[in-house]
Structure formats: structure tokens, C-alpha cells
């Protein structure tokens, strides 16, 4: 009789221990994000995602350029990249590794595109600002320089994949997209955002609006291209 009681007690303990272990395993599965179906467990994996398209860089390849530092030093023939998404200048060192160059160290840099033969000059303006934001740590691509200058903020955004919801656009990849902006830069560092259309340009240069409008009509400037913007700002400065 004593042996039977001991056997029953051990059996009950083992059953309790197995139940606790099973509950713990189920809890772990739930925390891991797997689908708990009682004593059966299955993993949920969505294979529709297709990865990332595009590049965060202004030009994806390492390109020879030069940097002008605030202390007067100039480094030439340095492999450079400009990250338009994070707004950071990246330099490759002789050892092969790359580093981010902090904005407060650099006044300007030039990227020499071997394909188009164009020289892209980026500058940092210590007093640059809009009505709302301090923009002194940003690099602007110089399109035209004068009493009123035309600069371009090279920028990219990351658009996330959109395919999981029932009414989604079925875009299965993340992508970097251009989000460039144009600004008029005054001598005091003030920046005014403009778009590629007549209304925007004339509104931003309203102190000479009538004269500039007449010149635009004379030159047949529709302000649909970057070149039109450059010509319009040059004409404004000449009035």
C-alpha cells in the first residue's frame, strides 16, 4: 500500500512538472511572435518583401574630390561621397575605411563627376537660416552665386514598402527617392524656399517683381528647368 501511494505521488509530480514545462514553452513561443495553436506551433513568415532600391548617396560611387577645411587646409584628390539622406559628407581614408567628416570642420567640398565632367561644389553657410530653422550645418549645392544666390539642398527620403494592408499599393520594397529643394540665399544668410514656377520665383523676389516679370517674358522663361531658375536669379541681380 505504501509503495502504491509513493508511485501515485511521483506520477502526480511528474504530470505537474510536464504541464508547467509545456505552459512555459507555449509562453516563450508567444513572446517570440509565433502562432500558438495549442500543442502545435507554426512560424509566420512573409516572403513578399523585396528589399531596398536606390541609394542614399548623391552619387553612389566613390569619386575624387577636394575639401576646404575651416582652418584653411585644402585636401585634394580625396575619395568622397555625400549622403543625401543623412546629410553627411563621407571620406575614404588611405587604409580603405571611411569616416564621416563633421560639418563644423569643413567650409566646402567639390565632387568631380567623371561621367558628366561636372564639378559639384557644396558649401556650408555659417549664418544660413530660414524663418523657422537654423541651417548652418547643412551643405548646399551652389547653382549661382551673386548678391542673391541660388542654392540647392540635395536631399533624399526613404519610402517604406506598402503591401501588408488589404488596401495597400502592393509596393514590396523600400526605396530612396529624391527630395531636392531650391533656395534663394541673401547676403545675411536668410534662405527663401522656391519652386520651379513663375509664381514662386516672383513671389520670393517681389521687391523687383514687375521688372523681373518683364525680363522673364522677354527671355521666354517658363521656370520649368533648373537653368531657367539660374537665369531668372541672374536677371534679378542685374536689375
Domain ranges of the chain: 2-42, 52-194
Tell me the chain's radius of gyration from C-alpha atoms: 31
For residue 183, count CB atoms less than 10 angstroms from its CB and return exposed for 0-12, middle for 13-18, buried for 19 or more: buried
Contact indicator for 224, 198 with CB cutoff of 8 Å: no
CA angle 211, 216, 220 (to 5 degrees): 155
pLDDT, tens digit (0-9, with 9 covering 90-100), for 204-219: 999 999 999 999 999 8
Contact indicator for 106, 70 with CB cutoff of 8 Å: yes
Contact indicator for 137, 104 with CB cutoff of 8 Å: yes
Does residue 29 have a pLDDT over 50? no
**pLDDT grade for 128, boundaries at 50, 70 and 90:** very high
Does residue 38 have a pLDDT over 80? no
Long-range contacts of 120-129 (CB under 8 A, 24+ apart): 120/58, 122/82, 122/89, 122/154, 123/151, 125/185, 125/189, 126/189, 127/188, 127/189, 128/185, 128/189, 128/191, 129/189, 129/190, 129/191
pLDDT, tens digit (0-9, with 9 covering 90-100), for 90-106: 999 999 999 999 999 99
Per-chain mean pLDDT for the chain:
83
State the helix-helix crossing angle for 226-238 and 209-219, rounded to 10 degrees.
130
Does residue 72 have a pLDDT over 90? yes
What is the C-alpha separation between 239 and 233, in angstroms, rounded? 10
The pLDDT of 146-155, averaged and rounded, is 97
Q: Which residue has the higher pLDDT, 178 or 6?
A: 178
Q: Which residue has the higher pLDDT, 214 or 166?
A: 214
Give me the residue label for grid cell 547643412: 138
Task: Please report, rounded to a whole number, the percentage of residues in the chain having pLDDT higher than 90.
Answer: 67
Does residue 179 have a pLDDT over 60? yes
Amino acid at each position: 500500500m505504501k509503495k502504491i501511494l509513493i508511485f501515485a505521488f511521483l506520477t502526480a509530480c511528474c504530470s505537474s512538472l510536464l504541464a508547467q514545462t509545456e505552459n512555459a514553452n507555449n509562453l516563450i513561443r508567444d513572446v517570440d511572435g509565433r502562432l500558438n495553436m495549442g500543442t502545435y506551433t507554426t512560424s509566420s513568415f512573409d516572403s513578399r518583401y523585396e528589399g531596398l532600391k536606390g541609394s542614399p548617396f548623391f552619387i553612389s560611387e566613390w569619386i575624387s574630390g577636394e575639401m576646404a577645411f575651416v582652418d584653411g587646409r585644402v585636401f585634394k584628390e580625396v575619395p568622397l561621397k555625400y549622403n543625401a539622406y543623412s546629410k553627411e559628407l563621407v571620406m575614404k581614408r588611405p587604409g580603405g575605411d571611411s569616416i564621416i567628416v563633421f560639418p563644423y570642420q569643413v567650409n566646402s567640398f567639390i565632387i568631380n563627376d567623371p561621367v558628366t565632367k561636372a564639378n559639384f561644389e557644396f558649401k556650408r553657410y555659417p549664418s544660413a537660416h530660414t524663418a523657422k530653422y537654423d541651417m548652418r550645418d547643412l551643405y548646399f549645392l551652389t547653382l549661382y552665386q551673386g548678391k542673391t544666390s541660388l542654392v540647392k539642398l540635395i536631399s533624399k527620403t526613404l519610402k517604406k514598402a506598402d503591401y501588408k494592408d488589404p488596401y495597400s499599393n502592393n509596393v514590396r520594397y523600400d526605396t530612396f527617392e529624391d527630395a531636392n529643394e531650391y533656395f534663394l540665399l541673401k547676403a545675411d544668410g536668410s534662405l527663401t524656399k522656391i519652386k520651379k514656377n513663375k509664381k514662386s520665383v516672383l513671389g520670393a523676389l517681389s521687391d523687383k517683381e514687375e521688372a523681373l516679370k518683364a525680363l522673364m517674358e522677354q527671355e521666354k522663361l517658363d521656370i520649368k528647368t533648373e537653368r531657367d531658375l539660374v537665369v531668372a536669379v541672374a536677371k534679378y541681380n542685374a536689375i
